[in-house]
Amino acid sequence: MSMYPGHRGMGNVPPANGVVGRLNELLDQIRAEFESHIRQSETYEHQIQAQVQEMHAIREKVYQMEQSQLGLKQKYEEELAILRQQLESRGGPPGPMNPPPQHVGPPQPPPQIGNPGNNTVIGAILSGHNQAGLAPPPHPQQQEQQQPPHMPPAPPGLQGPPPPPPPPSQQPPFQQQYPQGPAQGGFPPQPPQSTASPGPGSKRAIGRPPAAGPATPQINTPVPYTGPGQSPQVPTHPTPDHARMAQHAPPPPPPPHITNVLVDLDPERLPNHIKKVREDWWVIFNQSVPRVLDVDLLHTLQHESVVCCVRFSHDGKYVATGCNRSAQIYDVATGEKICVLQDESIDLNGDLYIRSVCFSPDGKYLATGAEDKLIRVWDIQTRQIRTTFAGHDQDIYSLDFARDGRTIASGSGDRTVRIWDVDSGTCQLTLTIEDGVTTVAISPDTKLVAAGSLDKSVRVWDIKQGYLLERLEGPDGHKDSVYSVAFSPNARELVSGSLDKTIKMWELNTSRPLPHNQQPPLKGGRCIKTFEGHRDFVLSVALTPDSEWVLSGSKDRGVQFWDPKTGQTQLMLQGHKNSVISVAPSPVATPAGGYFATGSGDMKARIWSYTRLDRR
Tell me the average pLDDT across 357-364: 98
Supply φ then ψ for residue 378, to 5 degrees. Answer: -95, 140
> So what's the pLDDT on residue 60?
86
State the pLDDT confidence band at 136, using cuts at 50, 70 and 90. Answer: very low
Interacting residues of 207 by C-beta distance below 8 A, sequence separation 6+? none
- How many other CB atoms sit within 10 Å of the CB of residue 74? 10
Report the pLDDT averaged over residues 484-509: 96
Q: In degrees to the nearest 10, what's the CA dihedral of 170, 173, 177, 183?
A: -170
Cα dihedral across residues 331, 281, 357, 313: positive or negative: positive
List of domains in the chain: 275-612 (2.130.10.10)
pLDDT for position 199:
33
Residue 224 pLDDT > 60 = no
Condensed to tens digits (0 to 9), the pLDDT of residues 17-53 reads: 778 888 988 999 999 999 999 989 888 988 998 999 8
pLDDT at 497: 98
Point out the least confidently predicted range of 314-328, 509-523, 537-551: 509-523
184-to-176, 219, 221, 264, 500 alpha-carbon distances in Å: 16, 14, 16, 8, 22
The 3-state DSSP class for residue 418 equals strand
**Per mean pLDDT, which of 12-21, 36-45, 93-102, 198-207 is the most reliable?**
36-45
Least confident of 149-158, 228-237, 498-507, 527-536: 228-237
Question: What's the confidence (pLDDT) of residue 545?
Answer: 96
Higher pLDDT, 131 or 491: 491
Task: Work out the angle at residue 424's Cα, subtended by the Cα atoms of residues 419 and 425, and round it to the nearest 5 degrees.
Answer: 60
pLDDT at 521: 66
Q: How many C-beta atoms lie closer than 10 Å to residue 39's C-beta? A: 10
The neighbour count for residue 517, using CB atoms within 10 Å, is 7
For residues 467-501, b (16+ Cβ closer than 10 Å) or e, as one string?
Answer: bebbbbbeeebbebbbbbbbbbeebebbbbbbbbb
- Distance, first Cα to last Cα, the chain: 151
**For residue 493, pLDDT beyond 60:** yes
- pLDDT band per the 50, 70, 90 thresholds, residue 244: very low
Look at 135-144, 256-265, 331-340 and tell me which has the smallest mean pLDDT.
Answer: 135-144
Distance CA 293, CA 286 (A): 11
Tell me the pLDDT of the chain averaged across its residues: 78
Question: What letters, b where the CB count within 10 A reaches 16 and e where it falls short, cover 562-580?
Answer: bbbeebbbbbbbbbbbbbb
Please state the rounded mean pLDDT for residues 363-370: 97
Q: Which residue spans within 96-166 are E strands per DSSP? A: none
Digit-coded pLDDT (tens) for 259-275: 677 877 888 889 999 99
For residue 74, what are the contacts with CB-CB under 8 A and spacing of at least 6?
Answer: none
Q: Which of 188-197, 257-266, 552-561, 588-597 has the lowest mean pLDDT?
A: 188-197
Tell me, what's the pLDDT at 81? 87
pLDDT value of residue 516: 58
* Residue in 544, 611, 533, 525 with CA at minimum distance from that of residue 583: 544
> What sign has the CA pseudo-torsion 430, 120, 304, 361?
negative
Q: In the beta sheet, which residues pair with residue 311?
A: 320
When mean pLDDT is compared across 73-82, 174-183, 302-311, 317-326, the lowest value belongs to 174-183
Q: Is the confidence at residue 164, as pLDDT, over 60?
A: no
Distance CA 239, CA 167 (A): 66
Edge-first strand listing for the sheet containing 448-453 = 437-442, 448-453, 458-462, 468-472
Q: For position 249, what pLDDT does the model report?
A: 53
Q: Mean pLDDT throughout 303-321?
A: 97
Closest among 436, 496, 440 to 463, alpha carbons compared = 440
What element of type H or E holds 46?
helix 16-89
pLDDT of residue 517: 60
- Per-residue model confidence as pLDDT tens digits over 391-427: 999 999 999 999 999 999 999 999 999 999 999 999 9
Quote the CA–CA distance of 538 and 465 in Å, as a whole number. 31
Q: What is the pLDDT of residue 220?
A: 36
At 398 the pLDDT is 98
